[in-house]
Amino acid sequence: MTKISKLNLLLKSNQKLFHTQDLALLWGITNRGTLYTSIKRLVKNGVLISIIKGLYSTVPVNEINKFQLGTALIHKFCYVSCETVLAIEGVINQTVYPITFVSSISLKIEYNGTVYLYRKLKPEILLRPDGVEKQDGYFIATKTRAISDMLYLNPKYYFDNLKK
């Protein structure tokens, strides 16, 4: 595959974020050396922007939706939930600084001035599709699911306004 065709595939894609394996599949490259050389050249020429090791973007980081970026940073299934959704829905009145996800791991990542907090749920709870909606490149919990997740993680959590 030529450099021009690789570039065209990237730019025609609706995706803005790519993991190394995504690029290998998109370009049909099986040789790791060839793949890394191609990526390195595109980063050097400013076509791809390196976010973290193994994650690349075709647009500047500040133009990427923070929920999409948070999902891509851990490269595992996760969805926006807990305090983030509760604050958006008006169930809690506090200002929430970290963007909260639930996932199969517990992790805290600070990237580009934003804190991403991942809370661990058991797979049988995490993978239930009830109350999880697909948005533009990420999943987000409904208000009811976020309340359920919060109560599972912290049974004594205080909600400011359950009437909403």
The DSSP secondary structure of the chain, one letter per residue, reads --HHHHHHHHHHSS-SEEEHHHHHHHHT---HHHHHHHHHHHHHTTSSEEEETTEEESS-GGGS-HHHHHHHHHTS-EEE-HHHHHHHHTS--S---SEEEEESS-EEEEETTEEEEEEE--HHHHT--TTEEE-SSSEEE-HHHHHHHHHHH-TT---S-TT-
124: left (phi over 0), alpha (psi -120 to 50) or beta: alpha
Contacts of 42 (CB under 8 A, 6+ apart): 6, 7, 10, 48
Cβ neighbours of 110 (radius 10 Å): 10
Cβ neighbours of 90 (radius 10 Å): 12
Residue 160's pLDDT is 83
Domains and their CATH numbers in the chain? 3-63 (1.10.10), 66-153 (no CATH)
Residue 8's pLDDT is 65
pTM: 0.86
pLDDT along the chain (164 residues), means of 10: 63 82 89 92 91 93 93 95 93 88 96 94 94 93 95 90 71
Residue 106's pLDDT is 96
117-161 confidence digits (pLDDT tens): 999 999 999 999 999 999 988 999 999 999 999 999 999 988 888
